[in-house]
Structure 1
């Protein structure tokens, strides 16, 4: 399993029912994606200097089990689908509680955006090569 984020559930992430609020799952997944990119050498500061940023077209959260206060979560990330050139991609995240139970699955579809032109863009060749080293799901599909 490729874990790219581990951390505690804090008070501000709880809802009125005293479990992890719905939007916190997406926040954990977003941080795990950033950590995954960083792990292979695609640094946020480099993307910023290139005027590129990841954007999401879709985010789906499937809840499996509750996560409570003071729990600790681990988030895995794997590429589940992408174009050969990496311009569009899908990532599956699995969020686990500290007892190892899968609490949620987060699926996102995204692409790279040129933040100056405000249009879809592509990673430069050097970063594209790094992108291809990300972990892939067992059911990975190339578009």
Structure 2
């Protein structure tokens, strides 16, 4: 299942070079992730009820093409990797400019944090299923966790 969001960019997204500032790409990717969970009826209220939240270990952005002032963008989410219980995950976002040209690829490696214990945890089934049923990248892999 493909998940894509279109955005109208804002003046604040652009820098003195009149192209999208580097951190704006990551802001849009974060918004895509929240909207992705919303598609599965998972909101920040649910994170609080379950006392669990997503955390990020690593976020890499590869810039390919400029996005200029006034352009609108499209961003997607694909699952790049997932552990067998969903404790850890990697997602990939592709950001496209208004002409549909791939402008950036953002790779995010994260996990679920128990907000009371402040330790990594296995997510509730519906949180896991959000990633397990999502569109996978062509090079999708299972994340193997080391035994303690």
Q: TM-score normalised by the shorter chain: which range applies?
A: over 0.9
Count of paired positions = 143
Q: What is the CA deviation profile of residues 72-101 of structure 1, one whole-angstrom value per residue up to 9, with x for unaligned ones?
A: 010011010110111001001000011000
Unaligned runs of 5+ in 1: none
Q: What is the CA deviation profile of residues 82-128 of structure 1, one whole-angstrom value per residue up to 9, with x for unaligned ones?
A: 10111001001000011000110000100011122211122123432
Partner of 1:15: 15
Q: Does 1:112 align with 2:81?
A: no
1:9·1:68 contact (CA, 8 Å) conserved in 2? no
Misfit runs of 4+, over 2 Å: 1-5, 40-44, 125-131
**SS of residue in 2 equivalent to 1:138:** strand
Separation in 2, partners of 1:67, 1:125:
38
Q: Does 1:61 align with 2:61?
A: yes
Question: Could you say what the CA RMSD is over the residues aligned between the two structures, in angstroms?
Answer: 1.5
